[in-house]
Amino acid sequence: MLVSEHIFEEMEEKKNSPPHGLLKQNNMILRFLMVLLSSCVINRNYLCSTHPMVTPTVSPHSGSSNITASLEALRLDGHLSFDNMHHAAKDFGNRHHFLPSAVLHPKSVSDISSTIKHIFEMGTTTGLTVAARGHGHSLEGQAQAYHGVVINMESLQAPDMYFHIGELPYVDASGGELWINLLHESVKHGLTPKSWTDYLHLTVGGTLSNAGISGQAFRHGPQINNVYQLEVVTGTGEVVTCSEKKNADLFYGVLGGLGQFGIITRARISLEPAPMMVKWIRVLYTDFFLFSKDQEHLISSKNSFDYIEGFVIINRTGLLNNWRSSFNPKDPVQASQFNSEGRTLFCLEIAKYFNPEETNFMTQKVDSLLSELSYIKSTLLLSEVSYVEFLDRVHVSELKLREMGLWEVPHPWLNLLIPKSRIHDFANEVFGNILTDTSTGPILIYPVDKSKWNNRTSMVTPEEDVFYLVAFLSSAMPFSKGTDGLEHILNQNKRILDFCKSANLGMKQYLPHYITREDWKTHFGTQWEVFVMRKSTYDPLAILAPGQRIFQKARRSFSDIGLQNNQHNIQSSKGR
């Protein structure tokens, strides 16, 4: 998930087992049901119904007390809770609130496996589904399960992180571990993961189920490109270890698979030597052509910066001199004369990693790289921070916003991947006509090189080798009917999406959200059939990740099965 410290600056400015006995008696019927429906559920039931955006108080399942009783009877190392579950119906998007029937707090992988296996063996006689919830940073209710079971993945911490030191170093970490914890433990060994997200208080399994993109992706690819091995619990409850060489189809399917094929319970993540310091730089442009040209030049250079991002600033008065940050102008006199009023600006944000003994060489290298760029010279802003401080740069501002009551607001974010060949068309329309300001949140924009991405994962990207990530990270003020209100921002997002479609830009959504089967098919394109086949293989009853609204769990009663069996027998006798 993408986030930047600028969202916080701008908002501050704006404020100024035994339970299976009965099931075993009907095992043959259930097995027949699952085999029968696994062949048709994917083809006939693509999309979850649109549930009301309120917290329901009555379960839609018949016999819900029996379902609760069967779940309570499960033998677990952790526990299931059936009360006070409102936190599981809330996420960072803060727009969808679907109350589950239970929340699982697992202490072991077997807790997750047993629960899913139990629900799978109940077949389609119940509508129970399962969603894995990390740190709750989904935007559209993707980690919620309406009257299903939500798994609190942060409860799954054991076993502890294991570090392999030496050639090809790696760390084995729980899928419920936060990246910030992984960072702190890694640097103790002088190591670090290669690719990050802008915000580190996210779970390992959560970002790997999407992609994990930040300013290092141009060099190392997203986080899903830097994983050696996974442990996954599938939609049948099976625990599978997979890698490039073992169960490869599941391995690549789960990476970027939106949680559709399995829950990541452990990941082996590639590491590299960790630097100690970061030279952090921002420069401004008024010309989008020069801005994008410099970004593309930097990501194609062999010896470049270690982090490359950018963002757009529209209608921000006195920006350079009023920017509250730890940055200092290289030339304070020239910077004081810069006037940003009335102009759309583009900020290039770059960073170079180094160790203290390399300071002189790093300074020369940075100066050399900057000399190749066409930014406004008076706008060069510099900061020098520790590596950990740089990577965790968002969290300090988050804490301030929480104190101000400006964190838990609706976040109607829109994240797009735009092909390089159409980025200027996109910029001209969106930044020139659709958007009038950026006061509701930052707009990130930077290119990545797809040659550094593995095309075997489930992650969908534009067809061109170079494409831009453009992220509209808006925050809506509660009860506002103005330009900072939810309705206005959603309409603005729709205008952007409508333009992308009408102009045939070849855009793909990152952290995608669609409500129709045709939109999902269009999103996946040629990968759709593979995606559907993997779903039928690893989650044949469509139990997992219902909040993505891609597939719907089929539901039938035992009387339906008996009727279908009779019809099947009649047809068979006619055939004879």
Give SS3 for 84: coil
Six token digits for residue 60: 């839609």
Please say if 297 is a catalytic residue: no
Number of Cβ within a 10 Å radius of residue 257: 27
Residue 415 contacts residue 471 (beta carbons within 8 Å): yes
CA end-to-end span of the chain: 58
d(CA 486, CA 475): 8
Q: What is the DSSP letter of 178?
A: B
Q: What is the 3-class SS of 498-539, one letter each residue?
A: HHHHHCCCCCEECCCCCCCHHHHHHHHHHHHHHHHHHHHHHC
For every residue of 243-259, DSSP letters joined together read: ESSSSHHHHHHHTTSTT
Give rounded-to-5 percent helix, strand, coil for the chain.
Answer: 40, 20, 40
Per the rule left: phi > 0, alpha: psi between -120 and 50, beta: everything else, 486 is alpha
Choose, from 137, 201, 411, 523, the residue flagged as catalytic: 137
Give SS3 for 278: strand
d(CA 151, CA 263): 10
Give SS3 for 282: strand
Cα 15 to the chain's mean position, in Å?
Answer: 28
Q: What is the 3-class SS of 535-552, one letter each residue?
A: HHHHCCCCCECHHHCCCC
Please say if 198 is a catalytic residue: yes
Report residue 128: phi and psi, to 5°. -60, 135
Please say if 309 is a catalytic residue: yes
d(CA 219, CA 208): 18
434 HSE (CA, 13 A, CB side): 21
Choose, from 231, 309, 392, 484, the residue flagged as catalytic: 309
d(CA 186, CA 253): 27
Choose, from 198, 296, 349, 392, the residue flagged as catalytic: 198
For every residue of 327-375, DSSP letters joined together read: -EESSHHHHHT---TT-EEEEEEEEEEE-GGGHHHHHHHHHHHHTT--S
| Length reported for the chain | 576
Report the catalytic residues: 137, 198, 309
